[in-house]
Amino acid sequence: MLFFRHMKINSKIVCLFFVLISFISGFYYHEYLLQEYYERTYSDENIDFSILKKTLDQIYLNYIDPNQIDLEKMTYGAAAGMVNALGDPYTEFFDPEGAKSMEEIVTGKFEGIGLQIGIKDKQLTAISPIKGTPADKAGIRPGDKILLIDEKPTSNLSASEAADIIRGPKGTKVVLTILREGENFDVEIIRDVINVPTVEWKMLENEIALLGVYHFSESTSQDFKKAVFEIINNNVKGIILDLRNNPGGLVNQAIDVAGWLLNRNDLVMIEKGRDGVKKEFRTNGSGDLISYPTVILINEGTASASEILAGALKDNRNLTLIGEKSYGKGTVQKLINLSDNLMLKVTIAEWLTPNGNVINDNGITPDIEVELTLEDYEQQKDPQLEKAIEEISKKINI
């Protein structure tokens, strides 16, 4: 009897062994196919790297001022040009200065004006000004087209190149020429130290909490956790989650935040890679805020990771979205260190909401559309927030 029991155990181990071998074999076979495809497509026979050498030779032989030839700078320019030729505004090459700026943005502290920018419809565009920063105080709005930076045209600049020009030491000035609603005008902004607020909350009337998430940086998860405990201890009856002008950031932080608002193991997003394989990302949090009636504010400045969060809450809890259509940035980027001081940000996948909705270029349409006009800005009115208070009051029966 013991012998047969031992045989059954061994058979399970053997089955597990073969399953494991099959998985590993499949993984390496997939990697092999990708490598084979790369070598077949990008072999020396199919791409003429000598073009770069010939171009450089002719510059050395003919350029009017040989002293201006900077080989390192030209190499960076060649790499950036190769990346830009993809036509993807989110895939970028960063030289040492750009790589340093990117690291500062991820940590959430830098000097500049506090404006998230991107390329939309082939035009440099303001995605969102960060709350309380010089760009916000100067009245820059999501969707503003940036035509000039200090009188320099932006038409041939990548988002990172434009950001490098806009950023600068505290106390210095930058002038942006903005196109908004068919009118051009200049906005003068004084740069400052940007300490990006990630999470803030305050109590409104009738024990309604206005919970703002302004950026997903390395500290967002901890900042949100602190706000959750304060909300729980203050007898809040309902929550308005404000994701307006949140340009996104670190996706893992958005998933952590979702864990407070959804049940454990709820689907947050689906990532679709280059091979078509879909990968699911689920919550691993406590869901402490799931029992609170909640509505969500979004606008054109709600982008990337904040769209992931909004989409997950809409699909899982059918929460009401109020405001304006979101930006529509639904691709995933990976930061790759090419060397100690060079970096590549490359698009590796697109993401979908739990219901499979594509956000890239589409955005998320609110259930209740409320526009925030220029007149509202000037008169410091917020009809979107007013509507959110009205809707959450219905849910908590005020």
Instruction: Please identify every residue annotated as catalytic.
Output: 304, 315, 329
Exposure of 384 by Cβ count < 10 A (0-12 exposed, 13-18 middle, 19+ buried)?
buried
Closest C-alpha among 87, 106, 102 to residue 220: 106
**CA gap 274, 23 in Å, rounded:** 19
CB 306 within 8 A of CB 248: yes
381: Cβ–Cβ under 8 A, 6 or more apart, which residues? 375
- Using CA of residue 181, residue 183, residue 188, residue 191, what is the dihedral sign? positive
Helix, coil or strand: residue 346: strand
CB 261 within 8 A of CB 268: no
Closest C-alpha among 334, 348, 264, 271 to residue 308: 271
What separation, in Å, do the N-terminal and C-terminal C-alpha atoms of the chain show?
Answer: 70
**CA gap 126, 178 in Å, rounded:** 9
**CA gap 4, 316 in Å, rounded:** 48
CB 328 within 8 A of CB 342: no
Number of other CB atoms surrounding residue 390 within 10 Å: 13
CA distances from 200 to 65, 196, 203, 225, 262 (A): 55, 11, 11, 11, 20
Q: What is the CA radius of gyration of the chain?
A: 25
